């Protein structure tokens, strides 16, 4: 991209993930954000590498962790991405430090994007209450029980929160991610897709 076509230049984006992350749900948003000029950091539960998966059961690549969640400060980042994979968000939501990290983005009115099973972290932090959210269909009951309205849409934006259902939605998710993060739509400002 030419300099004038880098809408995320100067933005620092955190991707929170751990072992079991769906590889393409990590790599495609990362590549898209970097091509749009952002600096992107993998934040995880432990230092070293995490094991990515393909379709939840096939081992993918190992991914280098940039910072552990207990070392990372949400104030150092402009936006947050929560990729899925079934195991990844289930492990994250059991970690109170990781959930405090997620909640801080909402508290600091920064945009958040979650795809597939990624919204489990939003459920755990109470951040779906009163919001319209999409996700992998199996999270529908969890989202509704947490006070959210689950919808079956390729992309949903509500109060600076961007969500999508599955890897097939990644092209639309990534396009909207760049748009939302470039505009800096903070959580709390309604911007419907």
Number of domains composing the chain: 1
Exactly one of 16, 80, 112, 116 is catalytic; name it.
116
pLDDT in tens, 32-84: 999 999 999 999 999 999 999 999 999 999 999 999 999 999 999 999 999 99
Task: Determine, yes or no, domain membership for 164.
Answer: no
28 assigned to some structural domain: yes
Is 193 part of any domain? Answer: no
Residue 97 lies inside a defined structural domain of this protein: yes
Q: Which segments of the chain does DSSP mark as H helices, in order?
A: 23-35, 87-93, 96-107, 119-125, 140-145, 170-183
In whole angstroms, what is the distance from residue 168 CA to residue 171 CA?
7
Question: Is 179 among the domain residues?
Answer: yes
How do residues 115-172 score in pLDDT, each as one tens digit?
999 999 999 999 999 999 999 999 999 999 999 999 999 999 998 899 999 999 999 9
Contacts of 6 (CB under 8 A, 6+ apart): 36, 37
CATH classification at residue 40: 3.40.50.880
Residue 117 bears catalytic tag = yes
**Set 110, 117, 131, 176: catalytic member:** 117
Q: Give the DSSP letter of residue 53.
A: E
């Amino acid at each position: 991209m030419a300099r004038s076509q880098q809408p995320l230049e100067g933005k620092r984006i955190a991707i929170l993930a751990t072992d079991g992350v769906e590889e393409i749900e990590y790599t495609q948003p990362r590549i898209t954000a970097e091509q749009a000029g952002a600096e992107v950091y993998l934040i995880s539960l432990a230092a070293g590498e995490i094991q990515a998966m393909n379709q939840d059961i096939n081992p993918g690549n190992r991914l280098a962790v940039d910072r552990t969640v207990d070392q990372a400060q949400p104030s150092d980042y402009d936006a947050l991405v929560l990729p899925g994979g079934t195991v990844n968000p289930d492990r994250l939501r059991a970690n109170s430090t990781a959930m405090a990290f997620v909640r801080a983005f909402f508290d600091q009115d920064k945009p958040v994007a979650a795809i597939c099973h990624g919204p489990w972290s939003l459920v755990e932090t109470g951040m779906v209450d009163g919001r319209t959210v999409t996700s992998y269909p199996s999270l529908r009951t969890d989202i509704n029980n947490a006070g959210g309205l689950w919808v079956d849409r390729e992309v949903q934006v509500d109060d600076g929160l961007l969500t999508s259902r599955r890897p097939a939605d990644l092209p639309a998710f990534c396009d909207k991610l760049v748009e939302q993060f470039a505009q800096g739509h903070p959580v709390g400002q309604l911007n419907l897709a």
